[in-house]
């Protein structure tokens, strides 16, 4: 296990992967221990067209899946307890977990709020002992501190440790030794390999490549035939080669993002525009707080049948003015809302950021309107900072009830 | 005030009220008349005229004429007959002329029309053309109206108020919003302002008086305009197709000559007294009624004139009551000898009949379009097809409304696909929502918000017209240009169609000739051709399959799957019960099966097997002896009415006709009174009269006349003969021609049960269609899902040049698309040319071929060989079969149920207790479990209104008909789906030698 690495040679990397199965359920069970031995479904309660957010292992076995309509989920799993999702709470739990991990490494990468962490413990042997010991210790700590029992796996790269964790779900641990990556992967079913899209999986089934080993047997040239440009990636994956680094989540982002999920999918233009206005308000606040302007506003729409469309609207010089952001967002919305289907989710992305020019206009006297509206925005921002970002906004016809619920969650 | 400019729901996707309800409302508001002016059409003319008569209103016929690409609209009102003909031509011009413009195209066709317009430019043009034009001030005074009124006063024109309404009543505004949203493809939730937006509805006289009090005269002038319009509807009498004489003979002489000539062809030179007498009688009546030219025109259609002037008879089957005419038989328009089979001519023609007769002719389905093209070409400008008005049915209404509410397609389909076909006229008063939630097939379906709102709106939509389409085969030919009788437009596929559906066309006196497509004629043609190709002599002119003993036996055994008209489960059961393969009995059997006649079917079987019976009543005489005293055919209704209640032939025929109509209740009342009175006069006991009347009422909806059934039975026998003697050729033709009662899957199973070998498709051997020879059926390339017509032609063309050497050769020469190549590989069609490769490797080679083709920057002189494929294992047997099934929809070698044992470990254990269907006859009276595949089903309502179902299941050994009583059906309807396997537990019973399986419980068999 310990190879002598000298000079500038590549050091063998050790990547720990932690994964809390059904994270939302795990957190809820910590929050209310009476739920521990019950089947759980996490889904928005007040929405009769809502979708399942997460579910416990028992419910999964009954046939409940993420994204399934609540009614259907309740039908297949009659005994399950229904809970409303509390993303804020899960975020907090993620933070606490992260804190435990930070004691051992600064290189930690996590997903959204799904209970996944990659921890790079390469070279910390002298400080904390062998990586496997770190894994054991963290699990013990997390179990004690947070009451959550994560899976942990150890591998020489992110790919291997991820596959290993898929193997031991929902509880356990797995250590893949250096040099054994390929032989570890070879007998496993191809579906366990991360990073394949559905089409590729379909093709592999067609060619009867059922195990990762069968895929690994093909030369990169042969892989070119069905998979074209992806052949290199697939070849590396099938041999357990993965050089990607563990990225520390950057604090300095170059985009401003807001999102909104409609509890009940909707085709009501007013409701969607109201939700968008709320997102614009938050984005504007964030931009002005960072003293930045955006030159592009993007809208991601997810329709309730799963189709996602992304469209943008651009501005030449960049802006952080709320009314202008609003019209850019509406333009982008118009461009992506072309279908007759209901909307489930909407995301606002402001990118191509640049610093706001401190230069004032030479002939400011003529632009009294602009100055006035900037004053208003300033006042709105101070109110928002004090009473929450949705406390005040530009006039809207209709305040979406879903948005109110959301602000309840954040409050 | 006379309400001018009122639109009904025939202003498609705009108006909301039917002509009937508009008339009703007009009457209740105290109007003396109504001007119905739908946009660019007269779709609703006859309903409007009828309702005006009912409510004693003065009708004004008219239409709005719009202009493509602008918002300008004028309203045209008909003054007299000439005006009507002009309006028809004007609408036809609007519908068919490119760049139609109101400024240029109206004036030549505006004689005897009153034109209303609110466009000053147009009014100027029309005034200069000396047309009668009035200024249309709309339904409320406004600024534009004020200017218009002053302008009209300057020129001394009428200026009138109009209703300009889309709605019958204000409450219909949300329906109108929905219609517009559907038409414009919008999807958003209606807001209050949408619902209440300014759409006009028909207001009361007082409302208009008050509104226009500031402009005296504009309301009262409407009466003056209305007085100019004296036209009360077209009256052309019966409009016969014209016959262009041949050799100077007039139609009557010509018909006589051709009939006798044909008779000698049919019966030989010695015609016999009976034939001559009947021919003379028929010819006399035909002449008397003036239908000679009609017969001749139909004859010319059947005997197509070729380029060289000779005539060639097409493969046809005359159907309907026309088959009762000996003249038609002699003209080769029909196939059954009416003398031999005792067919009732008066059913077809009698001097009292006021409505035009119709001769319906079936052509082979793939030749029908050519026939139509010829007819429409020969009579260009004088012929057009009849249209059908397509109304919103519950399923379509729900789908469209749900789309407006933004529900995703998948969710909508989940609901609508399970709705059984419900016609607009659902009996009960319950709402659509209640109906759906109580449907057993929709159990467990989530119908929460917004579905209730969707259903409530969809409910209102049901019964509104959506668009017009082409009638399957009705053609109208007129002596004058057809657009002087009725507006003509063009169907999307380019065919001219009149604006009326068949009932309206009939009311207008337009004689319709039905030229329909029939798949079975294609089947017989193809099978006979295949047989003849093998050197077997089959002279179709002297072919009497109904006299062939083997054929009769197989009909008597109910082995008629695939045989036209007698292949339905109910029919096959009846054949078995009757156990008689006689032509006459088959004619009865195919007529007696109709929705309301189950008890008569049982009674028929009993009597056929020698059960005692007595005539319906003594007075009836022997008129029903042929059918064992039962009323079987449509004309039996007429016969009984004549015999018992002293109806005239004409009245009796009208009664029969009313029975098959949808809106019969009112009209039936008169006949009922008359029938009861007539019977009482003949001293028939009241109880008997009631029984008789009820029996006649069982002909409601679907029923057949004897000539029709006899004509079809002949085709059935031809099919049965071919099935019996040339099974491979026949089954191949059945599947190739498509459109039978069963799916291809079911026919393939049947072929296997008949001992035929089903050979997998093969690109080196298969034709496009299926082919059969010597107990082998080769799957045609058409059976493989997703192959384009062009690709199939390429395959055949390349194969003719040189057969394919390898998969590479095949790919290179036929250039399949990705899904085509994949489907061919999956179904095994390439196995024979790729001798060294399994199907996985074939797939790889295909990917490799595409890769090479993509990366080749320029064309190469020499073919680049494909790189050696890696050694890939062949697919698992189950995967192989699953792919074959998905590419073909059936399996060539197995029945899916046979794979059950291989498939699941529990299945293996259960299979020992399962009974095969061909072993069921030994288990009569027992409860057994079978594994079976659902083929098809028929939903019926019991007397108490509950739903039950008759389903047809099969396994690899046989077919079984099952019954699901209401309680069982309710419990399991939501799991039943055609093309799946089920385990059924139930009771086996026997009835006249046939097995029935009454199902008690159902379990789905999971595959994979």
Under 8 Å between Cβ of B155 and B142: no
Query: CB-based burial of residue A399 (10 Å sphere; 0-12 exposed, 13-18 middle, 19+ buried)?
Result: middle
A67 and A191 both lie in a single domain: no
| The domain boundary residue, chosen from A177, A209, A238 | A238
Backbone phi and psi for residue B4, each to the nearest 5 degrees, phi listed first? -95, 155
CATH number, residue A63 = 3.40.1170.60
Answer whether residue B465 shows pLDDT above 80.
yes
Q: Which of residues 978-997 of B touch A (CB under 8 A)?
A: none
- Is A57 part of a structural domain of the chain? yes
A161 and A97 both lie in a single domain: yes
- Is A4 part of a structural domain of the chain? no
| pLDDT number for residue B191 | 59
Q: Say yes or no for a CB contact (<8 Å) between B408 and A269.
A: no
Task: Give me the torsion for CA of A154, A159, A160, A166, rounded to 10°.
Answer: 90
Q: Is B966 helix (H, G, I), strand (E, B) or coil?
A: helix
State the angle between helix axes of B409-416 and B394-404 in degrees (0 to 180), rounded to the nearest 10.
160
| pLDDT number for residue A11 | 66
Structure tokens at B56: 């004693």
Structure tokens at A351: 């990118």
Q: Say yes or no for a CB contact (<8 Å) between B406 and A72.
A: no
Q: How far apart are CA A160 and CA B11, in angstroms?
A: 67
CATH number, residue A207 = 3.30.70.270
Nearest residue on chain A to B879, alpha-carbon basis: A206
CATH number, residue A361 = 3.30.1490.100
Name chain B contacts of A303, Cβ cutoff 8 Å: 408
Answer whether residue B428 shows pLDDT above 60.
no
Name chain B contacts of A342, Cβ cutoff 8 Å: 405-408
| Confidence band, pLDDT 50/70/90 cuts, at residue B456 | confident
How many contacts (CB atoms, under 8 Å) link A and B?
Answer: 72
Q: How far apart are CA A52 and CA A66, in angstroms?
A: 5
Nearest to B962 by CA among B976, B952, B954: B952
Q: Where are the beta strands (DSSP E) in A192-291?
A: 256-266
Phi-psi region of B433 (alpha: psi -120 to 50; beta: other; left: phi over 0): alpha
Average pLDDT (B565-592) is: 90
| The domain boundary residue, chosen from A238, A266, A297 | A238
Task: Give me the torsion for CA of B721, B727, B732, B735, rounded to 10°.
Answer: 70
**Distance from chain centroid for Cα A392:** 28
A200 and A331 both lie in a single domain: no
A58 and A98 both lie in a single domain: no
Let me know the angle formed at the C-alpha of B722 by B718 and B725, rounded to the nearest 5 degrees.
Answer: 135
Letter string b/e over residues B795-810, b meaning 16 or more CB atoms within 10 A of that residue's CB: beebbeeeebebbbeb
A398 and A278 both lie in a single domain: yes
| The domain boundary residue, chosen from A176, A203, A238 | A238
A397 touches chain B (CB under 8 A): no
Nearest residue on chain B to A307, alpha-carbon basis: B408
Under 8 Å between Cβ of B445 and B415: yes
How long a stretch of residues is chain A? Answer: 411
- Cis-peptide into B450, omega within 30 deg: yes
A175 and A307 both lie in a single domain: no
Shortest CB distance from A267 goes to which of B405, B409, B870?
B405
Q: Where are the alpha helices (DSSP H) in B557-597?
A: 569-578, 583-592
Nearest to B649 by CA among B660, B633, B637, B665: B637
A291 touches chain B (CB under 8 A): no
Q: Say yes or no for a CB contact (<8 Å) between B870 and A218.
A: yes
**Which tens digits make up the pLDDT trace of B354-366?**
777 778 899 999 9
Q: Which of A202, A208, A268 to mutate to test the interface with B (most CBs of B within 10 A)?
A: A208
- The three-state DSSP-derived secondary structure of B806-854 is CHHHHHHHHCCCHHHHHHHHHHCCCCCCCCCCCHHHHHHHHHHHHHHHH
**Which tens digits make up the pLDDT trace of B916-955?**
888 888 888 889 988 889 988 776 766 666 777 888 999 8
Answer whether residue B468 shows pLDDT above 90.
yes
Per-residue pLDDT of chain A (411 residues; tens, 9 = 90+): 444 444 444 568 899 999 998 889 999 998 888 888 889 999 887 777 788 888 998 899 888 988 888 888 888 888 888 888 888 888 889 889 998 898 998 888 887 778 889 999 988 888 888 999 999 999 999 999 888 889 999 999 999 999 999 888 778 899 999 888 889 999 999 999 988 888 899 889 888 898 999 999 999 888 988 888 888 999 999 998 888 888 766 555 678 888 888 888 888 888 888 889 889 988 998 898 888 899 999 999 988 887 889 999 999 888 888 889 999 999 999 999 988 888 988 999 998 888 888 777 666 666 777 788 888 888 988 988 888 777 787 765 445 444 444 433 332
Q: Say yes or no for a CB contact (<8 Å) between B408 and A341.
A: yes
**Distance from chain centroid for Cα B500:** 16
- Is A348 part of a structural domain of the chain? yes
Nearest to B430 by CA among B948, B970, B969, B945: B945
Identify any residues that bridge with A111 across adjacent strands, giving them in sequence order: none
Q: Which of B410, B450, B867 to mutate to test the interface with A (most CBs of A within 10 A)?
A: B450
- Is A123 part of a structural domain of the chain? yes
Query: CB-based burial of residue B73 (10 Å sphere; 0-12 exposed, 13-18 middle, 19+ buried)?
Result: buried
- Is A275 part of a structural domain of the chain? yes
Give the HSE-up count for residue B325: Cα atoms under 13 Å, Cβ half-sphere: 31
A308 and A207 both lie in a single domain: no
| Confidence band, pLDDT 50/70/90 cuts, at residue B134 | very high
| pLDDT number for residue B413 | 86
A219 and A275 both lie in a single domain: no
What is each CA distance from B393 to A108, B458, B465, B492, B518, in whole angstroms? 60, 9, 9, 22, 26
* Dihedral sign, Cα of residue B314, residue B317, residue B318, residue B319: negative
A141 and A219 both lie in a single domain: yes
A303 touches chain B (CB under 8 A): yes
Q: B751-888 is classed in which CATH architecture?
A: Orthogonal Bundle (1.10)
DSSP state of B299: H
Q: How far apart are CA B562 and CA B520, in angstroms?
A: 9
What is the number of structural domains in chain A? 3
| Confidence band, pLDDT 50/70/90 cuts, at residue B192 | low
* Residue recorded with tokens 């073919």: B863
- Is A354 part of a structural domain of the chain? yes
A64 and A196 both lie in a single domain: no
| pLDDT number for residue B759 | 94
**Which tens digits make up the pLDDT trace of B948-972?**
788 899 988 888 989 888 888 888 8
- Is A277 part of a structural domain of the chain? yes
Structure tokens at B313: 């008879």
Under 8 Å between Cβ of B550 and B394: no
How high does pLDDT run on average in chain B?
A: 87
Query: CB-based burial of residue B1007 (10 Å sphere; 0-12 exposed, 13-18 middle, 19+ buried)?
Result: middle
Which superfamily is assigned to B19-228 in CATH?
Metal-dependent hydrolases (3.20.20.140)
Structure tokens at A263: 């509890």
Nearest residue on chain B to A222, alpha-carbon basis: B870
Name chain A contacts of B446, Cβ cutoff 8 Å: 69, 71-72
- Is A326 part of a structural domain of the chain? yes
What is each CA distance from A203 to A187, A195, A212, B837, B843, in whole angstroms? 19, 14, 14, 18, 9
Q: Say yes or no for a CB contact (<8 Å) between A341 and B847.
A: no
Residue A208 belongs to domain spanning: 15-20+90-238
* Residue recorded with tokens 């419910």: A59
**Which tens digits make up the pLDDT trace of B865-876?**
777 888 888 888
B427 touches chain A (CB under 8 A): no
B186 touches chain A (CB under 8 A): yes
Q: Say yes or no for a CB contact (<8 Å) between A207 and B403.
A: no
Q: Secondary structure of chain B: what % helix, strand, coil (to 5)?
A: 45, 15, 40
* Residue recorded with tokens 């709705």: B419
Q: B896-1004 is classed in which CATH architecture?
A: Beta Barrel (2.40)
Average pLDDT (B690-719) is: 86
| pLDDT number for residue B685 | 83
Nearest to A410 by CA among A389, A395, A392: A389
Structure tokens at B961: 């008909």
Q: How far apart are CA A328 and CA A348, in angstroms?
A: 11
A346 and A385 both lie in a single domain: yes
What does DSSP say about strands B132-136 and B113-117: parallel, antiparallel, or unpaired? parallel
Of residues B170 and B10, the one with the higher pLDDT is B10
- Cis-peptide into B304, omega within 30 deg: no
A49 and A114 both lie in a single domain: no
Nearest to B38 by CA among B397, B465, B381, B501: B465
Let me know the angle formed at the C-alpha of B941 by B938 and B945, rounded to the nearest 5 degrees.
Answer: 160
Query: CB-based burial of residue B948 (10 Å sphere; 0-12 exposed, 13-18 middle, 19+ buried)?
Result: middle
The lowest-confidence range among A138-147, A353-362, B502-511, B802-811 is A353-362
Nearest to B289 by CA among B332, B252, B254: B252
**Which tens digits make up the pLDDT trace of B251-274?**
889 999 999 999 998 888 888 899
| pLDDT number for residue A397 | 46
Most confident of A105-119, B215-229, B981-995: B215-229
């Amino acid at each position: 296990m310990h190879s002598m690495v000298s000079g500038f040679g590549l050091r063998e990397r050790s990547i720990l992967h932690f994964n809390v199965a059904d994270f939302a359920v795990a957190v809820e069970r910590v929050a209310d221990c009476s739920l521990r031995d019950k089947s759980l479904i996490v889904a928005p309660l007040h929405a009769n067209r809502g979708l399942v957010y997460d579910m416990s292992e028992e419910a999964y076995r009954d046939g409940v899946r993420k994204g399934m309509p609540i009614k259907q989920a309740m039908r297949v799993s009659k005994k399950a307890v229904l809970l409303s999702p509390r993303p804020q709470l899960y975020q907090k739990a993620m933070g606490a977990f992260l804190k435990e991990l930070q004691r051992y490494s600064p290189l930690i990468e996590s997903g959204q709020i799904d209970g996944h962490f990659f921890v790079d413990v390469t070279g910390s042997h002298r400080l904390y002992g062998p990586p496997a010991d770190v894994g054991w210790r963290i699990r013990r700590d997390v179990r004690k501190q947070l009451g959550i029992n994560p899976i942990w796996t150890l591998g020489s790269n992110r790919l291997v440790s991820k596959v290993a964790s898929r193997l031991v779900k929902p509880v356990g641990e797995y250590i893949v030794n250096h040099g054994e990556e390929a032989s570890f992967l070879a007998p496993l079913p191809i579906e366990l390999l991360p990073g394949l899209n559905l089409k590729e999986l379909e093709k592999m089934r067609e060619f009867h490549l059922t195990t990762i080993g069968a895929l690994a047997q093909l030369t990169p040239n042969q892989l070119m035939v069905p998979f074209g440009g992806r052949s290199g990636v697939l070849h590396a994956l099938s041999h357990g080669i993965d050089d990607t680094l563990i990225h520390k989540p950057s604090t300095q982002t170059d985009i401003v993002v807001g999102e909104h999920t409609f509890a009940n999918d909707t085709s009501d233009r007013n409701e969607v525009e109201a939700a968008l206005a709320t997102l614009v308000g938050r984005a504007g606040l964030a931009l002005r707080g960072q003293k930045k302007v955006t030159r592009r506003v993007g809208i991601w729409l997810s329709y309730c049948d799963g189709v996602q469309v992304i469209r943008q609207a651009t501005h030449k010089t960049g802006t952080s003015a709320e009314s202008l952001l609003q019209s850019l967002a509406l333009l982008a919305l118009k461009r992506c809302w072309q279908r007759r289907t209901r909307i489930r989710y909407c995301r606002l992305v402001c990118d191509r950021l640049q610093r706001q020019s401190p230069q004032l206009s030479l002939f400011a006297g003529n632009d009294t309107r602009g100055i006035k509206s900037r004053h208003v925005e300033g006042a709105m921002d101070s109110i928002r900072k004090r009473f929450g970002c949705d406390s005040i906004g530009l006039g809207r016809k209709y305040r979406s009830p879903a948005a109110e619920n959301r602000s309840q969650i954040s409050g | 005030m006379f309400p001018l400019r009122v639109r009904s729901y025939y202003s498609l996707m705009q108006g909301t009220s039917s002509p009937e309800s508009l008339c009703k409302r007009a009457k209740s508001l105290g109007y003396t008349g109504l001007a119905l002016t739908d946009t660019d059409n007269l779709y609703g003319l006859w309903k409007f005229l009828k309702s005006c008569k009912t409510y004693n209103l003065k009708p004004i016929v008219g239409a709005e004429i719009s202009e493509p690409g602008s918002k300008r609209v004028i309203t045209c009102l008909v003054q007299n007959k000439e005006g009507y003909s002009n309006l028809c031509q004007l609408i036809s011009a609007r519908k068919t002329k490119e760049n139609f413009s109101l400024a240029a195209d109206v004036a030549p066709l505006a004689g005897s029309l009153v034109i209303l317009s609110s466009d000053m430019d147009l009014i100027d043009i029309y005034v200069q053309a000396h047309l009668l034009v009035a200024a249309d001030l709309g339904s409320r005074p406004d600024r534009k109206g004020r200017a218009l009124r002053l302008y009209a006063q300057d020129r001394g024109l009428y200026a009138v108020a109009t209703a300009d309404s889309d709605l019958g009543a204000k409450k219909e505004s949300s329906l109108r919003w929905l219609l517009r949203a559907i038409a414009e493809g919008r999807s958003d939730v209606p807001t209050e302002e949408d619902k209440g937006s300014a759409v006009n509805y028909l207001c009361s006289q007082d409302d208009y008086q008050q509104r226009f009090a500031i402009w005296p005269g504009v309301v009262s002038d409407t009466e003056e305009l209305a007085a100019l319009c004296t036209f009360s509807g077209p009256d052309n009498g019966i409009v016969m197709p014209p016959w262009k004489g041949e050799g100077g003979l007039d139609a009557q002489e010509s018909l006589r000559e051709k009939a006798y000539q044909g008779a000698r062809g049919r019966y030989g030179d010695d015609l016999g007294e009976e034939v001559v007498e009947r021919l003379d009688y028929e010819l006399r009546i035909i002449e008397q009624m003036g239908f000679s030219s009609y017969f001749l025109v139909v004859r010319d259609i059947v005997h197509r004139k070729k380029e060289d002037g000779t005539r060639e008879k097409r493969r046809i089957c005359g159907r309907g009551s026309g088959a009762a005419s000996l003249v038609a038989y002699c003209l080769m328009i029909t196939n059954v000898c009416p003398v031999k089979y005792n067919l009732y001519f008066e059913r077809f023609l009698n001097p009292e009949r006021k409505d035009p007769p119709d001769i319906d002719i079936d052509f082979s389905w793939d030749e029908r379009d050519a026939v139509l093209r010829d007819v429409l070409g020969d009579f260009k400008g004088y012929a057009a097809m009849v249209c059908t008005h397509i109304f919103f049915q519950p399923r379509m209404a729900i789908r469209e409304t749900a789309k407006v509410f933004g529900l995703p397609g998948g969710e909508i389909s989940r609901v609508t696909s399970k709705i059984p076909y419900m016609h607009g006229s659902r009996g009960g008063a319950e709402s659509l929502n209640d109906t759906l939630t109580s449907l057993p097939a929709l159990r467990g379906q989530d119908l929460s918000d917004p579905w209730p709102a969707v259903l409530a709106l969809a409910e209102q939509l049901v019964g509104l017209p959506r668009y017009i389409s082409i009638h399957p085969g009705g053609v109208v030919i007129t002596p004058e240009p057809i657009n002087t009788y009725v507006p003509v437009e063009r169907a999307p596929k380019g065919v001219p169609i009149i604006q009326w559906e068949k009932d309206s066309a009939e009311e207008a006196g337009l004689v319709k000739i039905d030229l329909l497509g029939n798949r079975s004629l294609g089947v017989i043609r193809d099978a006979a051709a295949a047989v003849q190709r093998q050197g077997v002599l089959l002279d179709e002119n002297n072919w009497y399959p109904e006299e062939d003993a083997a054929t009769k036996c197989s009909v008597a055994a109910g082995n008629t799957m695939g045989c036209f008209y007698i292949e339905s489960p109910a029919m096959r059961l009846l054949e078995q019960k009757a156990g008689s393969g006689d032509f006459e009995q088959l004619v009865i059997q195919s007529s007696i099966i109709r929705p309301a006649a189950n008890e008569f079917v049982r009674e028929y079987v009993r009597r056929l097997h020698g059960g005692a019976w007595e005539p319906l009543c003594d007075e009836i005489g022997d008129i029903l002896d042929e059918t064992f005293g039962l009323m079987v055919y449509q004309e039996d209704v007429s016969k009984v009415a004549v015999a018992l209640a002293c109806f005239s032939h004409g009245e009796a025929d009208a009664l029969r006709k009313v029975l098959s109509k949808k809106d019969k209740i009112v009209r039936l009342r008169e006949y009922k009174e008359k029938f009861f009175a007539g019977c009482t006069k003949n001293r028939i006991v009241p109880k008997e009269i009631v029984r008789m009347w009820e029996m006649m009422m069982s002909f409601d909806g679907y029923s057949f006349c004897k000539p029709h059934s006899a004509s079809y039975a002949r085709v059935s026998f031809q099919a049965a003969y071919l099935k019996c003697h040339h099974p491979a050729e026949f089954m191949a033709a059945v599947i190739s021609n498509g459109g039978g009662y069963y799916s291809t899957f079911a026919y393939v199973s049947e072929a296997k049960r008949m001992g035929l070998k089903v050979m997998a498709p093969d690109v080196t051997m298969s034709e496009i269609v299926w082919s059969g020879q010597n107990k082998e059926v080769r799957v045609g390339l058409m059976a493989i899902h997703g192959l384009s017509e062009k690709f199939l032609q390429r395959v055949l063309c390349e194969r003719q040049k040189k057969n394919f050497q390898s998969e590479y050769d095949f790919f290179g020469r036929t250039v399949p698309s990705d899904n085509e190549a994949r489907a061919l590989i999956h179904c095994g069609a390439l196995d024979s040319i790729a001798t060294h490769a399994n199907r996985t490797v074939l797939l790889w080679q295909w990917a490799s071929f595409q890769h090479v083709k993509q990366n080749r920057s320029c064309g190469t002189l020499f073919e680049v060989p494909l790189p050696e494929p890696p050694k890939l294992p062949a697919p698992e047997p189950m995967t192989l079969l699953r792919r074959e099934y998905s590419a073909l929809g059936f399996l060539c070698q197995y029945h899916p149920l046979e794979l059950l044992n291989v498939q699941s470990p529990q299945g293996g254990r259960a299979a020992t207790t399962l009974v095969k269907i061909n072993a069921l006859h030994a288990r009569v009276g027992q409860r057994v479990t079978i594994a079976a595949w659902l083929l098809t089903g028929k939903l019926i309502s019991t007397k108490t209104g509950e739903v039950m179902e008759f389903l047809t299941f099969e396994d690899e050994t046989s077919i079984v008909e099952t019954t699901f009583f209401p309680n069982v059906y309710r419990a399991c309807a939501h799991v039943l789906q055609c093309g799946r396997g089920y385990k059924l537990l139930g009771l086996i019973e026997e009835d006249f030698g046939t097995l029935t399986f009454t199902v008690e419980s159902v379990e789905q068999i999971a595959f994979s």
